Structure 1
Amino acid sequence: MTMMTPHPLPRPTRAEEVDIPVHDARALTNEGIRARIRLDGQDYTLRITRAGKLILTK
């Protein structure tokens, strides 16, 4: 008797996720570790940590 491995089901895609713009963090930082993002006159700092995580601070 042979065991069959089930194929993983495709992850359902929500309509909202399809329309979300994608921006590469490395491109935003010009291959550095920081970028300034402005929203309604307020500046925020996007930082890539050594561990490869993103931090957004005001």
Structure 2
Amino acid sequence: MNQIASKPVPTTATTEVFPTYHAEDLTRGGAQARILLNGQIYSLRITRAGKLILTK
């Protein structure tokens, strides 16, 4: 599986800083990406309405 070369987007959170990514970068301009966690593959999808859906 290819590694994603997306860089975090700087945020202005005051208490904690979390990595922030553009969904379009994760999907490489498409509508879907796969995310691997602990050997499980998840699907991240951008809907036509611009919402995100994460499924196993």
Which structure 1 residue ranges, 4+ long, deviate > 2 Å from structure 2? none
- 1:1-51: CA deviation from partner (whole Å, max 9, x where unpaired): xxxxxxxxxxxx5412xx110011000001000000000100000000000
Greater Rg by CA: 1
Equivalent residues, number: 44
**Pairwise CA RMSD of aligned residues?**
1.0
Structure 2: gaps spanning 5 or more residues: 1-12
Match of 1:8 in 2: none
Q: 1:32 aligns with which of 30, 33, 51?
A: 30
Instruction: Give the counterpart letter for 1:15 in structure 2.
Output: T
Give 1:1-58 correspondences, 5 Å limit.
Answer: 13-16=13-16, 19-58=17-56
State the TM-score, normalizing by the size of structure 1. 0.71
Aligned sequence identity (%): 59
